[in-house]
Amino acid sequence: MDVLNLAHGSFYMVGAYIAYSVVVATNSFWLAFVVAPLLLALLGAALEVVFFRRLYRHGHLAQVLLTFGFTLVFVDLVRAQFGPTTRSIPPPPGLGGAVELFGATFSSYSLFVLGVAIAVGALLLLGWRFSRVGAVLRAGVEDKEMAGLLGVDVPRVFTFTFAFGAGLAGLAGVVAAPEFAIYPGMDASVLILALVVVVLGGLGSIEGAILGALIVGLGYVIGTTLFPQFAIGLIFAVMAAVLVLRPSGLLGRRP
Amino acid sequence: MILGRLTSARNAALLAVLALGLASVPLWAPRFWIYIATQALIFAVFAMSLDLLLGYAGLPSLGHAAFYGVGAYACALLALRQVDGLFPLLLVGGVAAAIVAMPIGALSLRTSGVYFLMLTLAFAQMLWGLAVNWVSLTRGTDGLIGIPRPTLVGLDALEISLYERGAFFVLCLVVAVLTFAVLQVLARSPFGKTLEGIRENETRMRALGVPTFRYRFAAFVVAAGIAGVAGSLAAMSNGYATPDLLYWTASGFGLVAVVVGGTRSLIGPVLGAFVVLVAQLGLSTYVDRWELILGALFIGFVLFVPGGLVGLVRRT
């Protein structure tokens, strides 16, 4: 969409906290799994209509500042509601155990996360390539005016896309909640990694984002095993190296 | 032309009044507000250096705090090894930051726009990770504490110590005014004009035979050096240097200060720095939910005052 959203990490964080609230209230992870992405999508749609829509013209800097403001607001709201302490929720019933696979032991929840990730990735790839919405969106980003002239309701497509992105961030938050800690700073840590992933893979390329995520994830794990102190540094070094060789990312289009 | 000179004379007079007004702060203000004004001045130096990048060179860096932090750590490391003297300690921050900025600039400046923004962010986070993890040098998240303030030859004779709030405030004011003057001269020099030309139309400047990369690189290193001096001041002022100084939110607040005040004006970032700092430190003293208010304030500014505070004045 060519929108730089620093508050995307906040959507992830809010998703995790919604999951926490729902699990505490109803004890049902699956309810949270459905509710949180929907709520986040609604929130995303509202923010897009009220705020972001005005800023597409103003370029990335205005977007950076606006969304930086939102990160402060969200983190403070979460802190006001839940306090600064770390929360956690248990994995859903049936996924708390471990599974033996190819001679190694995996926690069954990790496999579930893997499954969700693959499903979402496949859905995005296919949707972007082959669905009508994907085609309309590609057209809208490529040339807004031309798409509009051809009868595409570009603003509505953008709102929908933004909401969809926010919903996915919420879904990621729910899925991450039983695996990682839920705390008010979780938005920043995921945001920086997500930016690295996207830049590494190339903006506007879903395949690139998947590839970037694999590199960052593997790099982090390998880095942590080899030299734990500088694992994060390794990831950034890889990203710097890639951008020097290919300034628009691994699979990004050349500008 | 005449109008231009008149307004610049008026601006100069305004600035002189502003500087004198600020210089009198230690005489009448409560201690707490002297402290806030000192912090704001240091932040203003940082914001002005960012304006050179963002406003004049058109380079939106989201990692500028890295150089601020490098300056602070360099100053701290030296001061903790019993090096005394104001000028060496101020300079070491600037020089260290400029040196670190060279490889980062050389790599980041190969890209532009969002990629530049994210690349500078990534490098800054890398340095932040280094500050957290290189415990033997930086003592990790605890940071370097107990940094002494330097003595200045001449001030001793007058029995003035930089440990006095007023004296330290005046030091920061002097550094801020000097930074303003240097950047103002730089912005109006052929160098500054060329930078603006590159920002507006790089292809054309290159066609005119201007080595655009070198100009941008120079601007990047100079801005980093000034940010490093601000970092030195911060280390002296706080008495500690922690990884927080390099964290990306610090860069974010810098950008906010520049934009809230108004880019490409130098005085705008100073105003913006005061607004942000007073909001940050002032609000946090009186209310719990200050981040919420601050965030809402930024959002409002972006939406309703796109030209910043300076833009408001210019329009009327």
Answer whether residue B147 shows pLDDT above 90: no
Nearest to A192 among B111, B125, B255 (CB): B125
**Within an 8 Å CB–CB cutoff, is residue B294 touching chain A?**
yes
Pairing of strands A104-107, A98-101: antiparallel
Query: Would you call A232 and B121 a contact, using CB atoms and an 8 Å cutoff?
Result: no
Q: What is the pLDDT of residue B1?
A: 41
**Within an 8 Å CB–CB cutoff, is residue A65 touching chain B?**
yes
Span A17-74, pLDDT tens digits: 999 999 888 888 888 888 999 999 999 999 988 888 887 777 778 888 888 889 888 9
C-alpha distance from residue A135 to each of A79, A120, A141 (Å)? 40, 18, 10
pTM to 2 decimal places: 0.86
Distance from CA of A66 to the nearest CA of B (A): 5
Q: Is B2 exposed, middle or buried (0-12, 13-18, 19+ CB in 10 A)?
A: exposed
Q: What is the rounded CA–CA span in Å between residue B34 and residue B283?
A: 16
**Within an 8 Å CB–CB cutoff, is residue B121 touching chain A?**
yes
Q: What does the block give as tokens for A175?
A: 């899925």
Chain B residue whose CA is closest to A56: B303
**Contact list, B252 vs chain A (CB under 8 Å):** 6, 64, 68
Cβ contacts from A onto B, under 8 A = 127
Nearest to A54 among B114, B255, B303 (CB): B303
Helical H runs in B56-189? 65-80, 86-108, 113-133, 135-138, 165-188
C-alpha distance from residue A140 to each of A144, A146, A229 (Å)? 5, 8, 44
In chain A, which among 222-241 make CB contacts under 8 A with chain B? 229-230, 232-233, 236-237, 239-240
Q: What is the pLDDT of residue B2?
A: 47
**Contact list, B291 vs chain A (CB under 8 Å):** 72-73, 75-76, 79
Pick the range with the lowest mean pLDDT from A238-247, B58-67, B187-196, B216-225: A238-247
Higher-confidence position of A53 and B223: B223
Banded pLDDT at B48 (limits 50, 70, 90): very high
Distance from CA of B256 to the nearest CA of A (A): 6
Distance from CA of A72 to the nearest CA of B (A): 5
**Contact list, B306 vs chain A (CB under 8 Å):** 58, 62
Query: Would you call A61 and B255 a contact, using CB atoms and an 8 Å cutoff?
Result: yes
* Highest-scoring range by mean pLDDT, A65-69, A182-186, B93-97, B262-266: B93-97
Span B148-200, pLDDT tens digits: 887 776 666 666 777 777 788 888 998 999 999 899 889 888 988 888 888 88
Distance from CA of B160 to the nearest CA of A (A): 41
Classify B147 as helix, strand or coil: coil
Q: Is the ipTM of this complex over 0.85?
A: no
Banded pLDDT at A181 (limits 50, 70, 90): confident
